Amino acid sequence: MAAKRALVTGITGQDGTYLAELLLAKGYQVFGLIRGQNNPKRAMIEQMLPGVELVEGDLTDMSSLLSTLEYSRPDEVYNLGAISFVKLSFSQPELTGNVTGLGALRLLEAVRIIDGGKGHIRFYQASSSEMFGKVRETPQDELTAFHPRSPYGVAKVYAHYMTMNYRESYGLYACSGIAFNHESERRGHEFVTRKITSSVARISLGLQKDLTLGNVDAARDWGHAADFVEAFWLMLQQQSPDDYVVATGETHTVRDFLDLAFAEIGIDDWAPLVKKDARFMRPAEVDLLVGDASKARQVLGWTPKVSFADLVKRMVAADIEIEKARKA
């Protein structure tokens, strides 16, 4: 039987790399959408994922999406591409709407056109717990009402409903994974977990004195990205398409993360090392997120493997190795 073909947008991002590894290990032929002229991450991806064929295109450019689909002829499309940094979405709301919101619509429309009603192409949309925002209930599940608190959250709600709409209107096999925060050794440095672990590593090696953060009381349901991409793949392997919460079911504050990260380098009282700066606060905050992933557990048989404590431990250890190598 011919190998299955998958197209992944957001291939240069955290989830794109883990998902591509999973798909390659399952024998897929993997295509990754890469944007821009001379994308600085191209070399890193080519080295890390030599089995992935990179195709140039952009979620803001419909014709590039059509030609990418025509070229790659995928069985499965994973839309992971987005402006994904919530803080940035406040300063660049139009760009966020265009990429994170309309980008999903463009890709759905391109899939609809190229699929031509055959119902062959399966589509995954990377929805987010940021859609719950100012939460209406705790924990949050697939039926919890949305109340997004950022241009990013609003754009994701639009993309989420568009995915549902294409499923209901055109019979597309289209799923959304409402993923809660997932982190890893590959997380971007703009996100709070990686900012903390790389700073902790640098502090332990005498390369940095302290760390400046915003709201350390925010609580998140943090899992490991390698676990989460497995759920995304499982959603596209079912009899029928549906939406699923992907979460660990545990919530921890940024303070808890700081406790564990500093403990890794033998510091119990991190307060003198952490400064607060309004520049890292948001115009509207999401105070608490915790997901109920019972449906994913029951229908997909999915459970996360990496605990919160292990996640922090792994991230700090990886950053210490990176910083040591840099120092050397």
Among ligand F7E, ligand NAP, none, partner that 119 touches (CB below 5 to 8 angstroms by kind): none
User: Is 198 a residue of the active site?
Assistant: no
Q: Which stretch binds ligand F7E (CB under 6 A): 5-13, 15-23, 132-140, 208-216?
A: 208-216
Residue identified by tokens 């794109």 is 16
**Of 9 and 129, which CB lies nearer to ligand F7E in the complex structure?**
129
- Please give the angle made by the CA atoms of 291, 257 and 191, to the nearest 5 degrees: 75
CB atoms within 10 A of CB 3: 11
Selected binder of ligand NAP within 29, 84, 248, 251 (CB under 6 A): 84
CB of 172 to ligand F7E, least distance (A): 23
* Amino acid letter, 204: S
Q: Does 249 bind ligand F7E (CB under 6 A)?
A: no
Q: Which stretch binds ligand NAP (CB under 6 A): 56-64, 111-119, 286-294, 304-312?
A: 56-64
DSSP states of 237-280: TSSS---EEE--S--EEHHHHHHHHHHTTT-S--GGGEEE-GGG
Residue pair 133/185 in contact by the 8 Å Cβ criterion = no
Residue pair 198/184 in contact by the 8 Å Cβ criterion = no
Residues within window 69-128 making contact with ligand F7E, judged by CB under 6 A: 84, 86-87, 128
Residue pair 313/260 in contact by the 8 Å Cβ criterion = yes
CB of 116 to ligand F7E, least distance (A): 32
**Comparing C-alpha atoms, which of 250, 268, 248 is closest to residue 258?**
268
Alpha carbon 118 to its chain's center: 29
**Of 29 and 127, which CB lies nearer to ligand NAP in the complex structure?**
127
3-state secondary structure of 202: helix
Among ligand NAP, ligand F7E, none, partner that 254 touches (CB below 5 to 8 angstroms by kind): ligand F7E
Number of residues that bind ligand NAP (CB under 6 A): 28
CB atoms within 10 A of CB 151: 23
Catalytic residue, candidates 72, 84, 89, 128: 128
Residue pair 24/49 in contact by the 8 Å Cβ criterion = yes
Sheet holding 5-9, edge to edge: 52-56, 29-34, 5-9, 76-79, 122-128, 173-179, 244-246
User: Is 168 a residue of the active site?
Assistant: no
Which residue is nearest to ligand F7E, using beta carbons?
A: 218
Catalytic residue, candidates 152, 166, 173, 244: 152
**Of 77 and 82, which CB lies nearer to ligand NAP in the complex structure?**
82
CB of 291 to ligand F7E, least distance (A): 10
Which residue is nearest to ligand NAP, using beta carbons?
A: 13
CB of 67 to ligand F7E, least distance (A): 28
| Residue 109 Cα distances to 10, 140, 274, 310, angstroms | 18, 30, 47, 40
Q: Does 67 bind ligand NAP (CB under 6 A)?
A: no
Characterise 242 by phi-psi region: left (phi > 0), alpha (psi -120 to 50), beta (else): beta
Q: Does 296 bind ligand NAP (CB under 6 A)?
A: no
Q: Retrieve residue 68's tokens.
A: 């990418």
User: Is 152 a residue of the active site?
Assistant: yes
Selected binder of ligand NAP within 39, 67, 208, 238 (CB under 6 A): 39
Selected binder of ligand NAP within 176, 181, 198, 204 (CB under 6 A): 181
Residues within window 134-193 making contact with ligand F7E, judged by CB under 6 A: 180-181, 190-193
Please give the positions annotated as active site: 128, 130, 152
What are the residues binding ligand F7E (CB under 6 A)?
A: 84, 86-87, 128-130, 180-181, 190-193, 195, 213-216, 218, 220, 254, 280, 282, 285-286
